[in-house]
Structure 1
Amino acid sequence: MPVTPASAGAPAPGADAESLSYEEARDELIRVVGELEQGSATLEQSLALWERGEALASRCEQWLIGARERLDAARATAAE
């Protein structure tokens, strides 16, 4: 049976990243980067980790954009 990212112990690309808090996504992204930096994963595992990292980075960016918008709105309200 071929090794797939899910069966190899690597996280499924994009699985539930949208439901993670900023801190959860950030912490998992740090773990994923650490695994990639070790270089001990197979090519298939590395690709799955990379894809997961992209999904997690996107989730973190969404949170940060939302936070920026909230700060801008609060500043605009305070300036009125």
Structure 2
Amino acid sequence: MTNQEAMPSFEQAMDQLERIVAQLESGDVPLEQAIELFQEGMKLSQLCSSKLEQVERKIEVLLEQDGGMVKKPFQADEGDKGDTR
């Protein structure tokens, strides 16, 4: 399995994060499992944040020019290629 296949989409990551939060909020999770869920949740949170930052940078590439919007090519940094920090 490649790194790209292993990385969930933003929507999948948010769904997983919501499930983890619900489990942790229920209070019925043993401590060991709660720690593992918390760690997984933090990774998913960082992934979502990274994906949102990428989208924000792509949107910023849109420049207003002559009364209209012009789309310029987006150049991803090396750190933007699936890096979850």
TM-score normalised by structure 1 residue count: 0.71
TM-score, normalised by the number of residues in structure 2: 0.67
Regions of 4+ moved over 6 Å: none
Corresponding residue pairs, total:
64
Q: Secondary structure at the match of 2:20?
A: helix
Distance in 1 (alpha carbons) for counterparts of 2:62 and 2:33:
43
| Aligned counterpart, 2:52 | 64
Residues 1-80 of structure 1: matches in 2 within 5 Å? 19-75=7-63, 78=69
Structure 2 unmatched ranges of 5 or more: 71-85
| Higher relative contact order, structure no. (Cα contacts within 8 Å, ≥ 6 residues apart) | 1
Which has a greater percent of helix? 1
Q: Cα RMSD (Å) of the superposition? A: 2.3
Structure with the bigger percentage of strand: 2
